[in-house]
Structure 1
Amino acid sequence: MASPAASRVAIFILRVLTFILLLISLIVLTTSATTGEVGIDQTIRIHFNDINAYRYMLAAIVIGFAYSLLQLAFSTCHLISGNRLISGDGGILVDFYSEKVISYLLATGAAAGFGVTKDMKDYFEANNWFFGTFYEKVYASASMLFLAFVCSAVLSVLYSYQLPKKV
């Protein structure tokens, strides 16, 4: 088993990575908008906010981002001082279960982004409606969100190793 200091550093690095991935995902998703040709003289402007699945994806990103920022602050204090803000088994249990919830939220947000983008791209291209780089941007945002989920899931596993062993 790794030393407590190594575990704290690994948790801190994963928190920073999750934070950065969510920030990138947020920026890419919120800047996803394009105008596409749908007829000879008709154009449609699509913004991510027009599609419900992308709104859910945005909500997952924002909630995950806020949680990640809060936990990053706690993790920084734990790394510097060596003491947890919530001492005892309660703090580890809270971290373990909150990581589970957040990782599921991030996973479902990424899945929603991937799924609706695939369906929309197939539908629009079947009708000869092309929307430039809109799909690629949303795919990139969903990919960053998926990687943030992976980091959160690894954090959950790390916290499971710290859970108290009860006989």
Structure 2
Amino acid sequence: TALHANYNNKNMVVSGFALGNTIESKTKGIWMWCVPHPCKEGHTLVLLDTEGLGDVAKGDSKNDGWIFCLAVLLSSTLVYNSRGTIDNTALKKLHYVAELAENIKIRSTEVADEEEEEDSKFVQFFPSFTWVVRDFTLELVIEGKRVTEDEYLEFALQLKKGISERHKHYWQM
């Protein structure tokens, strides 16, 4: 099947990247799709779709890293997709993404004394980050109280009491 978008202001339907409900990856490398901006006449959105991380058919994490880094450098908004709940496994996968982003940061600095200044300049070019969690079916309730999606995320990401210094680095992504 294809991804469809319906722009109300133009009442047009356009097709996009292939979607699949199988374990086989549909996207290989980076695919690009250009569409007219729905709100800014004369502007074009360039949408990039990359193959997922950890494709078992490829088994090449180095390739994953290069594709991810290139996508980060080309994007103004990075959308990270995950499935299910925000649990320890989801956080480990998100941590892996943060580690991949470190590859860009580390290579952007040469001199240790200038690292902080260089990082602050370089961060201007990093895309905004959106985490999309699909197929989430649990009720958003913590300690008997209904919470918003953002409150659930904050709860999942908060530093847990009693965690050692070694683990604090893991949680400070």
TM-score by length of 1: 0.25
Higher relative contact order structure (alpha carbons within 8 Å, sequence separation ≥ 6):
1
TM-score by length of 2: 0.24
Which structure dedicates a bigger proportion of its chain to strand? 2
Which structure dedicates a bigger proportion of its chain to helix? 1
